[in-house]
Structure 1
């Protein structure tokens, strides 16, 4: 693991406790961004999907049901245990593999090894800007030429931005949950060397949370 300290160091325990206390906390229905991503991936001819921050697997299970082969990555082994149990119950175990991994470290996958990558709110966890740039560099490394990356992040227009416990680097914590809120220029920086296809604003949840759904394509 990297030597980077700060709020990210406490988030693994937070999520382990959360998944233990609330199994399947996000329900069984896929997220809206995952439904969109599946259509984008299918149109791009993708077969295998890497999901970063898969949690207990509602979106990984959806991708598997849609016919994709899925590699589900999360730093919570508790969440991934729940994902594997759900995959067995739904007879899609042959389509899903899981990996406990901290995304601040290099992805343990070969270059050019996946067709598509999906990350719903993973990039806006308690990661420094430096770590986020490093992760997107890793995504580009493991994507095959022309591969598609769809991710979502809460942005600086969100009602929680600037409130709660400030950790610096646009990271604010509410109730033990730390979020890195994205300014637009960070989205543009992360798309450097990619084709930025879409930055779509949407809302989710009761606050509501305000997010961007970003679609970008690796060089062909």
Structure 2
């Protein structure tokens, strides 16, 4: 993601969360519900791109300790307020995923990222991030993520930024090919499964991916 595009997207998300608190509603995403069934019961989950926290709160209510990160302080403040009100085991931290994760090696049991990898990140930045995810997972730990893919209705629409990144309605999205999904589950990973998933009214077409750290 270019520096300029990255700054524009961060500002856009800050404005969006400020204008529409709890914009995704109270209910967890289908992706999170599925992930909770995959993660080891009672483990610690790191969520990347937690936003205002509907999924992080769901994980915490389901018995997981949660570290929730996002590049939006506004979204995280909404999440922290709700977690504190319910006494849930959630910690929050501002994190730009283009930078190394501020998490210790081999310290979490699961990592969850719902449409975070398909934001305005270059392929190189995505590959580096997946390397960081492997670093922070304990051996045998699980990474569950979703991404919009090249079969989505918005693929190829709007402003083209190169590297399969298209901006539509102010939001820039990196659309994933199936080949890229396979490449991200290369050395050091076991690809457990890839499924199609639909979300929203368009609907958005996603890959739901589960991969496990080997070694």
* TM bucket normalised to smaller: over 0.9
Which of 133, 144, 151 is residue 138 of structure 2 equivalent to?
144
Describe the superposition over 1:96-127 as per-residue Cα deviations: whole angstroms up to 9, x where unpaired. 00000100000011110100000000000000
Q: 1:156 aligned to 147, 150, 155, which one?
A: 150
> With structure 1 as the length reference, what TM-score do the two structures score?
0.95
Secondary structure of 1:102's match? coil
Unmatched tracts of structure 1, length 5 or more: none
* Paired residue secondary structure (2:3): coil
Partner of 2:74: 78
- Maintained 8 Å contact 2:42/2:63: no
Give distance in 1, aligned partners of 2:109 and 2:53: 19
- 1:16-165 correspondence to structure 2 within 5 Å: 16-42=14-40, 45=41, 47-92=43-88, 95-165=89-159
Task: Write out the 4+ residue segments of structure 1 that deviate beyond 4 Å after TM superposition.
Answer: none
Q: Report the count of equivalent residues.
A: 214
1:4 CA displacement: 4.4
CA-atom RMSD in angstroms: 1.2
Q: Which runs of 5+ in 2 are unaligned?
A: none
2:4 and 2:206 mapped to 1: Cα distance?
24
Q: Does 1:184 align with 2:178?
A: yes
Structure 1 residues 145 and 15 mapped into 2: Cα distance closer, same or farther (>3 Å)? Answer: same
Give the 5 Å matches for 1:165-184: 165-184=159-178
1:85 Cα deviation (Å)?
A: 1.1
